[in-house]
Structures are given as C-alpha cells and as structure tokens.
Amino acid sequence: MPPAKKSAGAQAELFNASSAKEIRDILWKTADRLRGSLDAAQYKEFVLGLIFLKYVSDAFEERRTQLAKELAEEGIAEERQEEFLEDRDEYAGHNVFWVPEEARWSWIATHAKSQGVGRLLDNAMDEIMRENSALTGVLPKIFNQDRVDQKVLGGLVDLISDARFSGNGDKPAQDVLGEVYEYFLGNFARAEGKKGGEFYTPRCVVQLLVEMLEPYEGRVYDPCCGSGGMFVQAGKFIEAHAGHKSDIYVFGQELNERTWRLAKMNLAINGIDGNLGPRWGNTFDDDKHPDLKADFVLANPPFNIKDWPRNENDPRWKYGVPPKSNANYAWLQHMINKLGERGTAGVVLANGSMSSQQNGEGEIRQALVEADLVACMIALPSQLFRTTQIPACLWFLAKDKSPQGGKRLTERRGEILFIDARSMGHMVDRTERIMTDADIAQIAGAYHAWRGTASAREAGLVYADEPGFCLSADLDTVRSHGYVLTPGRYVGAAETEKEDAEAVKEKIAVLTEELFELFGKSDELAKIVRERLGSLG
C-alpha cells in the first residue's frame, strides 16, 4: 500500500494506542497489509530491521535529551553543551549506540520522499555499523534494491513513525520496542511455517525452561540460539525477581546468517550483553566458544537432524559416538561438555530421544543416566510447536545433584524426576496449543520442591509424588525400565473416579501420536533389515 493512501484509521489507532499490546497488534495488522508480494521470510528482514533502527534512534534521542537536561541542571552554558552532547562516552556508558545525524529516524522520515527512502535506510545502516563495532556486519542493507517496492517501504517508515514507543504507562521505550520485536518474531515464525522454527521457540516453552533453571546470574549459553529468545526470557526472569539483566552474560551461536543477525539485534534491543561469536557457524565443527564453561545452558536444537558434521574422534563424545543419522545425542553431549562444575541445562528434543535404541543411542542414554547427569525429564503437550508435529520433551541435565553446601538443596544423587505434562495447556486455534502461566508454575514448582531450591523453601513447597503427573525414581528403577526415560512409564495414571470425554479424547490423541512415531521406527528398522539381507545376497 503506498504511503499516500495509508488509512487515517491506522494513524489514529497508533496515535491513541496506550499499551504495548495495542501498538504491536496495530503495527502487525497494518504492516501485514503493506507486505504485498513479498514472502514472510523476505518481509521479516525489512520490518525487523526498521524496528531496530527506530529503537537505536529513539534510545539515542532519549539519552541526548536526558543529557541536555543534566547539563542545564549543572549550570553548563548552552554554548558549551554541544561539546558534551557529542561525547560518545556519555552514550556508551548508558548502553546506547551512537547514531550519526543522517541515520536518525527523524532525519530519515523528513527526507525520505525527497532523497529516496531505500537509499537513506541503507546509508543509515552503514553509518550505524561504522560507528558501533558491536554491530559490524549485523544490520540489513537490503532496502535500496530494484526488487523492493519503494512505496511499500515508505509506508512502513510512515507506519513505524506513527507508533508512540514511549509514554506507554510505566514501560520505557526500550521495553515496548522489545515486546514489539518479540511479537513480530513469533508472527513471522507462524507465517513461515516449518522454516520459522529455525529462529523461534514458542514463548511458553522458553518460559518453562527459564523458570526451571532460574538463571539469576552467571554465564548463559545457547549453541543454537535462533533469534535469541532464550536470552531475552532469561533477562525478563531476572528483572521479575528484582535483579538486573547485567547479572548474566550470554554466549550463543547460530548456523543461519540471517537468524544470527536477528539475534544480535534482539539482544541489543533488549539491552542484554552477549557474545554470539564474530559470525555465524556450525556448532559441531566450528565452535565459537571452545573454552566456555557455562552456569546454564538453554537450547532448542533442530530435531533429529541427519546431515551434521560428525567426527568420531571428537573429545565431546565422552558417553558414546552419536550416530550420523541423528544429532540429538550430539547436542546433549556438546551441552554437557559446556557445563561448569555445578552447571545445569534445559534442552528441548524430540520424544524419540527418550526411548530410541537405534544406532547406539540407547547405550549413550544409559551412560548419561549412570553418570548421574539427568536431573529431570518432562513430556510436553502436543501441538506446542506450530512449525512441527513431532512430539517434544525437555531434558534437564545437572553436573551436581548434591546439596551444594550453602545452597541447602535436597540430596538428589541417584534420582531422576519424571513429569508428565502432556495433558496440560489449551488450544488457541485449530493447530496450536499453549501452556498457561499456571501450567508453567505447577511444573516448575514440582521441580523446585523436588530439588529443594530457595524459591521452593520461600513458597513452602514440599515435594510428593503425584500419580499421573510426577514421580522421583532411583537409578535401579530406571535400570529396570531399560534406561527408557519416557515419563509416562514412571508416573502411572492419575487417581480419578471417572475420566471426562475431553480427557479421553486427549489421551487418544497422545497415544495416536506415539503409535505413529512407533510406525516410523518400524519402517526405518524394516529398511535396515532389507538392506542388510540384500547385502548378503
């Protein structure tokens, strides 16, 4: 839609919007109408690049205004103020990027029609990267191209200009923009379908991981960080518990160049200090943080990938060489290798990782259990991931399950907590389920009560097995189940007098998914048998 025809209604809505939710909803709805013939993957770069540019410009202008006020209060004459206003340390000290005049949003919006919006935007990205080494090679220079409809681009600039990112209740502009950025990431993931899963993990899953691990301070690592959602949620957790985002330092790596750029922008827009490596790269054969020992690992690696760079002599394979046909146990062992002496990890994997006996995976799982590295296993509800129908689970790994001295944790060496959360959550539409805050609190509460953490003691939580939901099993029990870690095998059935129709329906759906997964395994085994019989002939 050309900027000249942009509806007055959209402008009025944005001007009158009083909350971050209203702003993001209106922005998405209007921006989506502007998309035209561009596919979601292309459009994502345009929109998120513009939102980031608006953020750094707004943050710069806010700091400049604040600095001018401080100088006036200190009695510094106006003729001398310019010298201080141009002092870059006054901005860097407040985690604000330096934005040259011709890269500032107000300048671009004023000159867009007379000088060409695409050229001005590419130039602005260049200038900001030149002046801020942390952003070198990060920002998109894609606006001044023949394939880009300059009228659509002008419409986007007008749209984002109209949004009031400051003055929304008690939230500063940075927080509002951060929410808008995250909201757009989620919507683009849905629009892109399966490919969207490469850069976005459902918010409720990330929230559960963070609530379980409680990363209050220290080094947080994600070897397949996507757009950085794990780090952003960790920062929000800390702030919600009266801490500060500077209490953590994040390390990440991402294979996809475009996604790596999104993650760098996401960290910057949320004010999180981090090291995502000098460039993108494959974690398995190009580890950007070879000497890192992390306090926390949060990750959602791609499920069941077959084409990965495998080196049988890699020292990370302490518990067994992962098969070439599936990288699930390569991810787990890589993360174990990255943990410090008391480090903990939360990892999203396909359900098959809990029970697979193929290609040595059963032996690796047995070795992990016998090394007492598995702390908790959670079976997730179905359909949380819009981008894949593969059922998922959470692995929680811990290097030290002892009381850890002053932490006064419960002794859990030789035990594993199993939680079956498959019946939780509710459908938000025909294809997607979410877990509520109450669901997440129940799951995390059970884990913290079991582990005896400070938060559990403060809340008065005491652990007890609950049929159908959770059970703490010793290693002898796990051995008796052949080292299969599927929670349903351990927690049993809930004690209920009568199951309602919805519960039965849900159970049938879960069992159907498990059956189809077994069918897949059967087909794979049949193929292997045929190949081996054929080789005998």
CATH number of the domain to which 284 belongs: 3.40.50.150
What was the pLDDT predicted at 40?
A: 67
pLDDT of residue 1: 32
- Phi first, then psi: give them for residue 184, nearest 5 degrees: -65, -40
pLDDT of residue 208: 96
Closest to 248 in 3D by CA, of 277, 283, 290, 213? 213
Please list, in sequence order, all residues whose beta carbon lies within 8 angstroms of the beta carbon of residue 174, skipping any fewer than 6 positions away.
55, 59, 269, 270, 271
Tell me whether residue 359 is in a domain. Answer: yes
Number of structural domains (the chain) is: 3
* Contact by Cβ (8 Å): 57, 103: yes
For 351-395, the pLDDT digits (tens) are 999 999 999 999 999 999 999 999 999 999 998 887 677 789 999
Q: Is residue 467 part of a domain?
A: no
Kindly tell me if the per-residue pLDDT of 126 is higher than 60.
Answer: yes
DSSP conformation class of 357: -
Q: How confident is the model at residue 173 (pLDDT cuts 50, 70, 90)?
A: low
Are both 425 and 515 inside the same structural domain? no
Range(s) of the domain holding residue 123:
3-187
User: Could you tell me if 177 and 206 lie in one domain?
Assistant: no
Would you say residue 499 has pLDDT above 50?
no
pLDDT of 411 strictly over 70? yes
Cα four-point dihedral sign 15, 19, 24, 29: negative
Q: Is the pLDDT of residue 215 over 80?
A: yes
Answer yes or no: do 136 and 225 share one domain.
no
Q: Are residues 182 and 199 in the same domain?
A: no
| 103 and 209 part of one domain | no
Q: Is 213 found in the same domain as 311?
A: yes
- Please report whether residue 458 resides in a domain: no
- Across all residues in the chain, what is the average pLDDT? 85
Give the up-direction half-sphere exposure of residue 278: CA atoms within 13 A in the CB hemisphere: 1
The CB density around residue 14, as the number of other CB atoms within 10 Å, is 19
Check pLDDT > 70 for residue 166. no
What whole-number percentage of the chain has pLDDT above 90?
50
Evaluate if residue 503 carries a pLDDT over 90: no
Q: Can you give the C-alpha Rg of the chain in angstroms?
A: 25
End-to-end CA distance of the chain: 66
**Per the domain annotation, does 13 fall within a domain?**
yes
Q: Are residues 111 and 235 in the same domain?
A: no
Residue 174 lies in a domain: yes
Asked whether residue 109 is assigned to any structural domain, the reply reads: yes
Say yes or no: 196 and 343 in one domain. yes
Structure confidence at residue 169 (pLDDT) = 54
Same domain, 172 and 289: no
Tell me the pLDDT tens digit for each residue of 458-478.
999 999 999 999 999 999 999
Q: Are both 316 and 405 inside the same structural domain? A: yes
52: burial class by Cβ within 10 Å (0-12, 13-18, 19+)? buried
